[in-house]
Amino acid sequence: MKIVSACLAGVKCRYDGEAKPCREVMELVERGEAIPVCPEQLGGLTTPRTPAEKRDGGVFTRDGKDVTGRFRRGAREALRIARLARCRQAILKARSPSCGSGEIYDGTFSGRLRKGNGVFAKMLEDDGVKVMTEEEFSAVLETRVK
């Protein structure tokens, strides 16, 4: 079983009130092979919401509000779901402050990236779950087809 970012499964849960559907992820969910979660909503954040990025060990909105506690709470709840379903793999939204894996936005709201993981991605990795972005997942599938 896999756990996936709900926005990739077509759920309109992103900060901008939209989804980022990924066909391959949607197919996994439709086949019952993946569970969609949105850690930010599980943490009590609204949709839509002010954009947030990780910096200085926390998560802050564009207008400077510290939302670290909500991000951590949501990540813990999403991790609880992953454990209940015995998920050992995750496909998460690239560059997200919750779900980004390998690189995330740098906290300046300038579009620049830096190495790092989102709050949920880090918790999953620390728990032994293999995490990849939707971009990495699609690339893996593409190489299998060739």
Question: Who's near 14: CB < 8 A, 6+ residues apart?
Answer: 7, 20, 47, 48
pLDDT tens per residue, range 82-102: 999 999 999 999 999 999 999
Q: How far apart are CA 11 and CA 17, in angstroms?
A: 9
Predicted TM-score of the model (pTM): 0.96
pLDDT tens per residue, range 108-123: 999 999 999 999 999 9
Ranges of residues in the chain whose predicted pLDDT is under 70: 145-146
Q: How far apart are CA 91 and CA 97, in angstroms?
A: 15
Q: How many CB atoms lie under 10 A from the CB of residue 56? A: 9
Q: Which two tokens stand for residue 12?
A: 């309109």
